[in-house]
């Protein structure tokens, strides 16, 4: 019982991260063995900002290594976030807070999306970038959503 409570406490302390849903993909390089190299489009909802969905496009490496999850994906990614309903905050927002994170190599490389709140312009800003344990990549993309009232549907 103590262990179960401790585990539950540990899980609650972990940051709330979104999980992505694949919207579609296109093949970019044919591979004779294993899946093709491709560009994948995924969507995820911000777990702390109701009414915001982000769309992420990124390269996925195919071939034998890619099929086994051993290949390193490229650092490039594109992001577009949109208001899809009334915006409601589920708790306090912290600048640079991680919203989405996914491993892009076997061990050392991840792609992540972080959020900033531009209070002066009443805008949410999302940044996607890739990092590596030793050396990150300066390649990044940014998108912004003005926080606007949402008109009810008649």
Secondary element (H or E) of residue 118: strand 109-118
- pTM for this model (two decimals): 0.74
CA distances to 12, 38, 93, 99, 109 from 131, in Å: 25, 21, 22, 15, 6
Distance CA 67, CA 51 (A): 34
Model confidence band, residue 8 (pLDDT cutoffs 50, 70, 90): very low
Backbone φ, ψ for residue 114 (5° rounding): -120, 155
Residues 51/83, Cβ–Cβ less than 8 Å: yes
What confidence score (pLDDT) does residue 84 get?
94
Q: Over the stretch 75-119, which tens digit does the pLDDT of each residue have?
A: 678 899 999 999 999 999 999 999 988 765 555 667 889 999 999
Is 14 a residue whose pLDDT tops 60?
no
Q: What's the pLDDT tens digit per position in 35-85?
A: 667 788 999 999 999 999 999 988 876 655 555 554 555 667 889 999 999
Contacts of 104 (CB under 8 A, 6+ apart): 58, 72, 73, 75, 110, 111, 130
Among 29-33, 83-87, 123-127, 146-150, the minimum mean pLDDT is found in 29-33
Res 126: pLDDT: 97
7 pLDDT higher than 70? no
Whether the pLDDT of residue 133 is over 70: the answer is no
């Amino acid at each position: 019982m103590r262990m179960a409570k401790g585990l539950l406490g540990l899980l609650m302390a972990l940051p709330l991260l979104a999980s992505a849903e694949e919207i579609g993909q296109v093949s970019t390089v044919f591979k004779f063995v294993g899946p093709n190299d491709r560009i994948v489009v995924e969507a995820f909802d911000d777990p702390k900002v109701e009414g915001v969905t982000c769309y992420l496009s990124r390269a996925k490496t195919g071939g034998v290594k890619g099929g086994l999850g051993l290949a390193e994906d490229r650092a490039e990614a594109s992001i577009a976030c949109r208001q899809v309903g009334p915006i409601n905050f589920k708790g306090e927002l912290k600048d640079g807070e991680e919203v989405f994170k996914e491993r892009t190599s076997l061990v050392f490389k991840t792609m992540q999306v972080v959020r900033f709140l531009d209070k002066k312009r009443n805008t949410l800003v999302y940044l996607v970038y890739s990092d590596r344990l030793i050396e990150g990549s300066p390649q990044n993309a940014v998108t912004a959503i003005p926080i606007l009232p949402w008109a009810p549907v008649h």
